[in-house]
Structure 1
């Protein structure tokens, strides 16, 4: 199993989510964008292909151990949040990991850059979350491309339509 600290971290204070225990479900810097403002620097591992990164059981076990540790210290966890150093929806095992983590009885959130929201499989998996935060930096295509520097084939119009479609059901 990967180091627990690499997969589960926190909890950290969040204005929106209270005390949030973070989940790194993908290795660092694998993303659909190379945003000009990224705190990790320029992204050299861009992709829009969903793939497996970690075994879902390993992700679950790392989160479970971290939750048990936090709760044993009488600390509170308001949300378990998928918020890796990259785009969490690139993980093809996202739905499996979510199903396992939901058994812990804590609300689960995800923070996404929205780049794959036009994918019906991604939309279906996101439906299982208690809170979905979809980020959009710009609604002008020129500004979107300058700020987010998306991987080839990712189109702003598809993202915006995907958000509309998803939000009508979620």
Structure 2
């Protein structure tokens, strides 16, 4: 298995990885089950974000690369079987500015789950973070992925964290 920084020509494989986990496709306009081909780009996006169609994946991947961030793919025999995104930034942590690598996305094709792909990708991310001078790797995992990260030795520091968003248009001027 080879892990590397993604290129634009990887979009089709990245989409295949993310779509592999979708059990049913729903056509929003009709509220009923449909095939992937019957969905428009927005309906595909609603099933999981920019990775759900080649068009939106290409735009998203281009933006990451232009911003100097790190979309990553795992491939085996030329087939993309995993995808991750690592965002490097400087953040205030306990009163100090620290350089961090944040694992924003980690997805493995459903046919390759439980076979060490995710672990290999995280090892690649660890090496990348060290090369980029990061002090920490952070992740906000889905509940179903917490055990995976714990097995890799990633400690849960913040429990029951939530993301709060304030729409600035709702505040009086």
Fold conserved between structures, TM > 0.5: no
Query: Which structure: greater strand fraction?
Result: 2
Higher RCO (CA 8 Å, separation ≥ 6 residues): 1
Larger radius of gyration: 2
